[in-house]
Amino acid sequence: MRIATYNVNSIRIRLDTILTWVAKWQPDVLCIQETKCQDDAFPLLILQSTGYNVHFRGMKSYNGVAILSKMAPQSVSYGFSDHLPERDEARLMRVVVNGVSVVNTYVPNGYKLGSPQYTYKLGWFERLRAYFAASLNPHDRVVWCGDMNIAPQPIDVHSPEKHLRHVCFHEDARRAYTEVVNWGFVDVFRKLYPERQQFTFWDYLRPSSLDANKGWRIDHILATRPMAEACRAVEVDIEPRRAPRASDHTFLWADFDL
């Protein structure tokens, strides 16, 4: 079972990228973040023409998540369902496919240290931990993937010493993320490649960052222990990142023998 994740940064602009990648790599499940369109503008029919099942939730301009799956999901749900007011919607969805619960998240960026957005990001991780604790079991087959906006370790960002106060590397953000991981997840990329420095994101604001390989590993695939033990391969595909009209993120995929 192949599960993949991709921050598309506008699904309408990069529809071709998705179609080409899906045709080549044939994921069983593809989790997409930052679709950036309202549901009535979502390119549903063309995505369905690939034969995939398509589920999504968006909002105007920002955020938005979608999941493509070869098999029809047994269930689909959106958001935390914790009845707290949403500062922004369309950042979390879950499907159950082939007995595997797949949770797709676009974690809030956090803007700057000390900002309300940063506080919201930290709280978002706490809500996510509560969400896993309330609705899933670490002994079951669960995969959590998406754009986490967290580089978990110094190896996961270029020049870590320069980013100690960056919202994607600050100790408080990393701790909040780690608390969720500690509910029962294994970072399958890091499990298979304990030493490899492999980024999934190069900042648009620094156009030379890709060539200089000054990036971040902030997109992740995490699996509960029973799933992680079945993980046979994980790779980052940076080729679409070099194409014209590239997103600043890469595709990331993992194969599980079930």
Considering the complex, what minimum distance in angstroms separates the CB of residue 43 from DNA?
Answer: 11
- Check binding of 193 to DNA (CB under 7 A): no
- 205 binding DNA? (CB under 7 A): yes
Residue 12 interacting with DNA (CB under 7 A)? yes
87 binds DNA (CB under 7 A): no
User: How many CA atoms within 13 Å lie on the side-chain side of 141?
Assistant: 16
Q: What is the DSSP string of the chain?
A: -EEEEEE-S-TTTTHHHHHHHHHHH--SEEEEE---S-GGGS-HHHHHTTT-EEEEE--SSS--EEEEESSPPSEEEES--S-PPPSS---EEEEEETTEEEEEEE-----STTSHHHHHHHHHHHHHHHHHHHH--TTS-EEEEEE-----SGGGBSSGGG-TTSTTTSHHHHHHHHHHHTTTEEEHHHHH-SS----SB--TTSGGGTTTT--B--EEEEEEHHHHTTEEEEEEE-HHHHSTT--SB-EEEEEE--
Report if residue 9 touches DNA, rule: CB under 7 A. yes
Between 109 and 135, CB nearer to DNA: 109
Report in angstroms how near the CB of residue 99 gets to DNA at its nearest. Answer: 33
18 binds DNA (CB under 7 A): no
Contact between 38 and DNA by CB under 7 A: the answer reads: yes
Nearest approach in angstroms of CB 220 to DNA is 15
Question: Which residue in the set 114, 116, 154, 207 belongs to the binding site for DNA (CB under 7 A)?
Answer: 207
**Closer by beta carbon to DNA, 116 or else 154:** 116
Of 49, 204, 212, 232, the residue at the interface with DNA (CB under 7 A) is 204
With tokens 């890091």, the residue in question is: 190
Is residue 117 at the binding interface for DNA, with CB under 7 A as the rule? yes
Contacts of 212 (CB under 8 A, 6+ apart): none
Among 206, 212, 229, 232, binds DNA (CB under 7 A): 206
Residue whose CB is less far from DNA, 49 or 61: 61
Q: Does 37 bind DNA (CB under 7 A)?
A: yes
- Stretch of 44-52, 70-78, 198-206, 226-234 contacting DNA, by CB under 7 A: 198-206
Sites of contact with DNA (CB under 7 A):
9-10, 12-14, 36-38, 60-62, 108-109, 111, 117, 204-207, 245
